[in-house]
Structure 1
Amino acid sequence: ALDKNITLLDFATGTGTFLLEAFRKALEPISKNSVNYNPKVLIDKFCGFEFLIAPYTIAHLKISQSFKEEFNSPLNDDESLKIALTNTLYSKSISKEQNDQNTLFTLIDLTKEFKKAQKIKEEQILIITGNPPYSGASSNKGLYEDEIKISYGLEPSKANLNNEQKKWISSYFKEKSKQNTSTFKAIYEKHKLENEKNSKVMLDDYVKFIRFAQSKIDSQESGIFAFISNNSFLDNPTFRGMRYSLMQSFDKIYILNLHGDTRKKEKAPDGSKDDNVFDIMQGVSINIFIKQNSKAKNTNIYYHDLYGKRKDKYEFLYENDLNSIKWTLVKNNEPFYLFLPQNNDLLEEYNKGISVKDIFMLSSVGIASSKDAILISTNNKKLEQQVYNFYNEFDKKYIKEIAYKPFDTQKIYYDIKKVERPRIDIMEHFLGYENIGLIYDRGTNLKEISNLFISSKVIDKHLVGANSYVSPLYLYPTTRSKKFLKKENPNFNEENFTSKIENFKESFRTFIDELYKEKFSPEDILGYIYAVLFHKIYREKYLDFLKIDFPKIPFTKDKNTFKNLSKLGLKLVNLHLLKNDELDFNVGEALFKDIKNKNFKIQKIKYNKDVKELFINESLYFNKVSPEIYEFKIGGYAVLDKYLKSHKEEDIDHKHFTLIIQTLDETLKIQDEISKINLS
């Protein structure tokens, strides 16, 4: 007989594919000839939510048809499937009027559908399943955002709120009064994730749907949540609060990572092609979360990778179940609570290094103008035209140089009233002052580390990644920096702050001085750090950790090793600032294939690796560009290809482009020298 205690909700029903399969699986063990065969028992037990009228209608038709033809139990006129036309994320406070505003259809009694959905949400549901929407930007702005903030948005080390705080939060969700709102914000600000500049990724719809399901199962003694989704929540550092929260709710977590992310250019371990199981770019995973009657002290996380061709993945999924898959137990996953395995011995070694966030006093993400097409341009004249056309005003004093892309300096109209996020606290130390900034990103989705660079100018947020950080080597005596230093150290004497000071934390400077028994200059130390970051063995060995956090720098105990790396690192710093004259001038020369047809416009980019020629159109090419030079990446992109595509249909500055080619050629040589040195 069917177990009447089994209840199921597909929270993103779509056209009913998952829900129909659930009916089939539940009925599978029972013969149609059995007296216990009664599919209609499941009608009240298996539910679905769908927001769009077309898939909602198809789901009803498809499953009703299956009851008639496949299950031999046609539905009567007074019988209907428990699929509600509603938004899963709607709460009780959503009124009928708001519900009406979200659909063009009035033929269905939406109030009735809404009440049906709310009733389902109040019932005990053993299994929640589905394929929630994921698109990067939420289609449900304003919904479930506070729920995400106060759960997934908390730093794991601060996430265990006391009873008084929980009481305030509960009050806030019941009534968003001025007092409750103020207290809610204060609690969140005190406990929120640290060093996060891209927390908006947690407002993706699939994250909201996961939180909905988790919250529902939290209210019950037990439950199963099984779904397929975007797999970025498995290891993205921003999602550490989410992973920690899920671990507090579930006893067992099974992750079958289907990979297939075309943006990461994922490949199988043997180098063969790795396909997505869907016709999408984003990698996906099947996730099964289990809560038993009494929550165990520790959560067991089981993980398995599935790479390969789509048909092979389908075969694997068809032939295997939870018990037949060879799971890997994920251990010791702090501080990021990753849902995938790590080499813990190597992690312990890596953690002995010092994070760049613990080296510099002042750091920040780069400038985000939000109006690049208006406020940034390749030259002063175009910039003036853009700004004047949009604002009907222009003042040339605001024109500044910005490191927009690697080796691609552009002009920005740096009026902090017009630039959305000017990051003036940091950028002022590059405006009118000589300075060097170390550029890095927090983690990367790429299969190799390339999100590191250097700059002497203000930088764009996307210089080397989604959130490019800059740590200036020096701080200058500005009003803002004095205020910052006073806040950091109450004993700070601003009267003595009359010239530049190094931007190293006092604890780090003490560590360096005591380790080497010698006073190295800020440039010497920066040179060492930059050398380590470009060390091939360092990048390869610690790849898994560099992908999820700010870089940690191992400091050798040998003073001579420090000096040798520092010297090479400073060479690399000057090279990347385009200040090095020790270049191979035979590399990257601009030549015309046909001197009668001299064309400087970047049009059709073509690279011939056999003869090492890089064409920008049918006429002009650059010679002796080796594959290593052409493929060299900074910020996840091949530098030369990115530069050319960014300036397509413009006349090329061939001297500058030649300099970039020669710089990359020399970078490879210095990187080889650096990589020969043992870091220990």
Structure 2
Amino acid sequence: LWHKQNGNGRFEWRMSEWSLHVPMIRALFHQIAEPERLHRLDLVEVLDWTAEALNRVDRAAFFARFEEEHAVQYFYEPFLEAFDPALRKELGVWYTPPEVVRYMVARVDTVLREELGIADGLADSRVVVLDPCCGTGAYLVEVLRRIRETLARRGDDALLGSDLKRAAIERVFGFELLPAPFVVSHLQLGLLLREADAPLAGEERAGVYLTNALTGWVPPKDPKDQLPIAFPELETERDAAAKVKQQERVLVVIGNPPYNGYSGVAMGEERDLVNAYRRTTRAPAPQGQGLNDLYVRFFRMAERKIVEMTGRGVVCFIANYSWLDGLSFTGMRERYLEVFDRVWIDSLNGDKYRTGKLTPEGAPDPSIFSTEYNREGIQVGTAIATLVRTAPHGETDSIRFRNLWGKGKWQELEETAEQDGVSLYEEITPDVGLGYPFNPRVVGEQYLSWPLLPEVFPTWFAGITTARDNELVATDRERLIQRMERYFDPSLSNEEVRRIAPELMESVGRFAAEPVREYLLRRGFLRDNIVRYCYRPFDVRWLYWEPETKLLDEKRAEYFPHVFQGNLWIEARQRQTKPQFDRGYVVTVLADNFGSGRSSFFPLYLVPPSSPETLFDAPGDTAPRPNLSERAAAYLAELAAEPEHLFHHTIAVLHAPAYREENAGALRQDWPRVPLPQTREALLASAELGRRLAALLNPEVPVPGVT
């Protein structure tokens, strides 16, 4: 921007504020460039060196080759990664590829015309646009370019510049929380307007505000509740942002919300945002912590603005695609079917955890955020959601969905940006029994009528998490005993133990290494707690199970008593992360969570508590009891069958290829369901197959002919 205004002059950093049109940015500059502060930080000389380096640049040659639209990519990668990588990681700040930005803006423009009846789309002066997490302004710039193209086609060349500037000032808004991208967004918009022969003058500024987009949408009940601000520029900025939030009839909310699960604690208005997604009327209740992710708050903020404040409009976000089918988001999806009239999903895949970043054919499927500077992109899969509310409004029971895979997805977005919203998509009707997943699901006709695994075997336990595998788990029992005896040897100092077993002396999270060892030295080594341990499927080792302290990260004290000779366990997960269902492993010993924290274990039998649970329990009754629900017990009684029959039948079912193939979509969504045979003969035949299979799955059981 300075170069555009001072083609032949020398750059003086002390005078650079004269190029800044936004009082807020000038205030930031004043705070940073205060002489006493700069001297105290020894930055004056560094800034002088920077200015000298810039003044040695052949600006004519540099700007002849420098593409201004690519400047933002340099800001995110590698500048932001080096400038503040921790903040970038915490907030999930990522550069949005231009193909994605162009596609989303084009889709919104089309939807405004075709669904809301606004002939000029984004160019209509009544259309107010907001990017609530605008970063460096990519979406705002593209919106203004789209407006310029429409005005040019309409023949409004004489007023094009002034109309474009009016849009940038009065109806194309952006919010940003981080000062650095906030400054760059104003730079980008200023350059665009200068290029259109409509430069900002005097106190004119683009409608981008430094603010938290998740708060301030409702005026405070008491003006005294509003925190005082020391600088008038900050107060002006806050008030201008509040006017957009509380008064503007925003018709379009578009952007790329932060990706990472938020580690901070939301307060007040921001905390309450997603409460609307925590309730369901038809779908299963939300489970897990997914609603705490930051991007979900942005979805709710946008939905509330369009649905409850404006009454109609478009939300178009690219985000983590977990919400499309995650168990945490059943209320979110149910609500969207109620409050929006049209839903389009462009699933961009590229997920490390579900698909290993591979297409169904096994070809590379990179993240849409992969760039020259960041080949991996982000690890989670992503999707573009376009949500439309019309007036009058009617609920919908279907959505439109498409998958984009592989290295050609960027080009595919470009090529389909102007196409209609029907021919590209598959229409699907989300199933209430599965929690309204917003992606296709393969499920057998009778599957949802079968009981879930916990509805058959109601008690289960999460697997153990050691967090110190190298020291507490071993393939050799005697070696593990020797290591633990040295840990419990009071003649060895902490430093000596640290050399022998470093993980046991490293304080991490909830584990305070030295206080734990001090306590255990007083109590002593429990040799009998060296037990067999299923570390991974088909990999049984030895574990020192510590019952009292955080030596084990999650010891699962409630799980341990039920592991005894003769008991059987089925491993399962409520959420299947891989495309293919591969659960149902059988164990007879204590088991790990299998590395991901998701595996749980369903026992055939439970040991009663040592003391009576009620006045009517017989004291001293320690015989194992079947782990059966009332429904399962009644079913077995009707067929005159035993708990072992139902347990082995379940093992057989979970490994049946037809069961896995016919219900593949549903098996990814929740606990597996178990069909109950109608006859005793069918149950016993299936149970016999399951009994043989259980022996093959359990390396602790010798099987003739199998090594």
Instruction: Give the TM-score normalised by structure 2.
Output: 0.67
Measure how far apart 1:313 and its partner are.
4.1
| 1:177-225 C-alpha deviation (Å, 9 max, x unpaired) | xxxxxxxxxxxxxxx63xx3xx223212211211221222232211211
Match of 1:3 in 2: 124
Equivalent in 667, 673, 683 of residue 562 of structure 1: 683
Distance change >3 Å, CA 380–CA 99, structure 1 → 2: farther
Measure how far apart 1:452 and its partner are.
2.8
Match of 1:47 in 2: 173
d(CA) in 1 for partners of 2:231, 2:408: 41
Measure how far apart 1:368 and its partner are.
4.7
Does 2:550 match 1:429? no
Match of 2:29 in 1: none
d(CA) in 1 for partners of 2:584, 2:147: 53
Partner amino acid for 1:397? Answer: L
Kept in 2: contact 1:307–1:313 (CA 8 A): no
Other structure's SS at 2:175 match:
strand
Other structure's SS at 1:207 match:
helix
Equivalent in 326, 333, 337 of residue 436 of structure 2: 337
Other structure's SS at 1:49 match:
strand
Match of 1:83 in 2: 208
* Identity %, equivalent residues: 23
Match of 1:508 in 2: 632
Distance change >3 Å, CA 574–CA 98, structure 1 → 2: farther
Distance change >3 Å, CA 412–CA 348, structure 1 → 2: farther
Match of 2:99 in 1: none
Equivalent in 394, 404, 409 of residue 535 of structure 2: 404
Equivalent in 104, 109, 121 of residue 245 of structure 2: 121
d(CA) in 2 for partners of 1:96, 1:24: 40
- Structure with the greater alpha carbon radius of gyration: 2
Equivalent in 326, 350, 353 of residue 447 of structure 2: 350
Measure how far apart 1:534 and its partner are.
1.4
Distance change >3 Å, CA 374–CA 204, structure 1 → 2: farther
Other structure's SS at 2:201 match:
coil
Measure how far apart 1:18 and its partner are.
0.9
Partner amino acid for 1:471? Answer: F
Which one has more relative contact order, counting CA pairs under 8 Å at least 6 apart? 2
d(CA) in 2 for partners of 1:99, 1:300: 48
d(CA) in 2 for partners of 1:332, 1:315: 25
Measure how far apart 1:348 and its partner are.
2.7
Instruction: Give the TM-score normalised by structure 1.
Output: 0.70
Q: Which has a greater percent of strand?
A: 1
Does 2:586 match 1:454? yes
Match of 2:33 in 1: none
Kept in 2: contact 1:439–1:452 (CA 8 A): yes
Within 5 Å, which residues of 2 pair with 1:1-150?
2-31=123-152, 33-35=157-159, 38-42=163-167, 43-69=169-195, 71-91=196-216, 109-123=233-247, 124-138=249-263, 146-147=271-272, 150=275
Within 5 Å, which residues of 2 pair with 1:176-191?
none
Q: Pairwise CA RMSD of aligned residues?
A: 3.4
| 1:40-78 C-alpha deviation (Å, 9 max, x unpaired) | 221211111111121111111011111001x22101121
Match of 1:233 in 2: 323
Distance change >3 Å, CA 459–CA 137, structure 1 → 2: farther
Kept in 1: contact 2:606–2:626 (CA 8 A): yes
Match of 1:275 in 2: 366
d(CA) in 2 for partners of 1:244, 1:507: 29
Equivalent in 652, 664, 683 of residue 531 of structure 1: 652
Partner amino acid for 1:76? Answer: A
d(CA) in 2 for partners of 1:377, 1:141: 39
Measure how far apart 1:315 and its partner are.
5.0
d(CA) in 1 for partners of 2:206, 2:547: 59
Match of 2:641 in 1: 519
Measure how far apart 1:421 and its partner are.
5.0
Distance change >3 Å, CA 236–CA 320, structure 1 → 2: same
Other structure's SS at 1:470 match:
strand
d(CA) in 1 for partners of 2:402, 2:655: 32
Kept in 2: contact 1:571–1:580 (CA 8 A): no
Distance change >3 Å, CA 303–CA 158, structure 1 → 2: closer
d(CA) in 2 for partners of 1:532, 1:477: 29
Partner amino acid for 1:338? Answer: P
Measure how far apart 1:337 and its partner are.
0.8
Other structure's SS at 2:396 match:
coil
Kept in 2: contact 1:362–1:426 (CA 8 A): no
Kept in 1: contact 2:148–2:160 (CA 8 A): no
| 1:449-482 C-alpha deviation (Å, 9 max, x unpaired) | 123322233333x3275422222211212058x5
Other structure's SS at 2:688 match:
helix
| 1:82-117 C-alpha deviation (Å, 9 max, x unpaired) | 1111222234779999999xxxxx999444333332
